[in-house]
A and B are shown apart, each in its own frame.
Chain A
Amino acid sequence: DVKVTQSSRYLVKRTGEKVFLECVQDMDHENMFWYRQDPGLGLRLIYFSYDVKMKEKGDIPEGYSVSREKKERFSLILESASTNQTSMYLCASSDNRGGLPQGTYEQYFGPGTRLTVT
């Protein structure tokens, strides 16, 4: 059973603080993702990583950075938190082995971190 865990369920930070959101998966997945989920906007991809130390910008990378030093861990960093970054943050992972075409694999999601920036 795939497990994707996120370090916090709820987080409250002040404007200007540096914020770290941690995500760990235990299934040796190659790909990891960070999304934010907002009502009416759905899920929007912030960054993804397809290998250790590799990262790609998603659709809304501004104000965020990521780090993937180990295969199982993918961190999202808000360098200077702002109120418009108040949101639910979802981490996900997916495999890319198993004989299926790339792009067809299921994503496994963590429970989410609800971040409030005041």
Chain B
Amino acid sequence: AQRVTQPEKLLSVFKGAPVELKCNYSYSGSPELFWYVQYSRQRLQLLLRHISRESIKGFTADLNKGETSFHLKKPFAQEEDSAMYYCALSARGGYQKVTFGTGTKLQVIP
């Protein structure tokens, strides 16, 4: 079974402070991990995914198989980063069934 855990429902940080949104997963096979973001009044969209190894809007995420984590990080938070963030997992090589976490609301305080 696939499981994604995001322990924080709400994370508040000041503008310019570092951000770390936590994501832990449980999956016995080869996982593919994603971060999706939903800004206010916008549709859910992909922020970044492990296979691309890229930085988007200053965010990065590293897959740590030993700790089964895929935490999202940004060195300096900006007000426009305020949004709902979802970590997601799918089975590499399998159907595109994706399991989402419960989400973390990031609030950047000016």
Say whether B86 faces chain A, with CB atoms less than 8 Å apart. yes
List residues of chain B with CB within 8 A of the CB of A102.
92-96
Interface members, chain B 21-71 (any A CB < 8 Å): 32, 34, 36, 43-46, 49, 51
Say yes or no: A45 contacts B92, CB within 8 Å.
no
- Complex interface bits, A40-71 against B, C-beta within 8 A gives 1, otherwise 0: 11111100101000001011000000000000
Which stretch, A18-26, A72-80, A109-117, touches the partner chain B? A109-117
Number of A residues contacting the other chain (C-beta, 8 Å)?
Answer: 31
Known: A102-B92, A103-B94, A104-B90. A90 touches B44 (CB 8 A): yes
Say yes or no: A58 contacts B90, CB within 8 Å.
no
Q: How many A-B residue pairs have CB under 8 A?
A: 74
Known: A40-B9, A41-B102. A110 touches B43 (CB 8 A): yes
Known: A40-B102, A42-B101. A50 touches B95 (CB 8 A): yes
Query: How far, in whole Å, are A45 and B36 apart by their CA atoms in the complex?
Result: 15
Q: Say which residue of A42, A59, A101 sits within 8 Å of B92 (CB atoms).
A: A101
Query: How far, in whole Å, are A48 and B92 apart by their CA atoms in the complex?
Result: 17
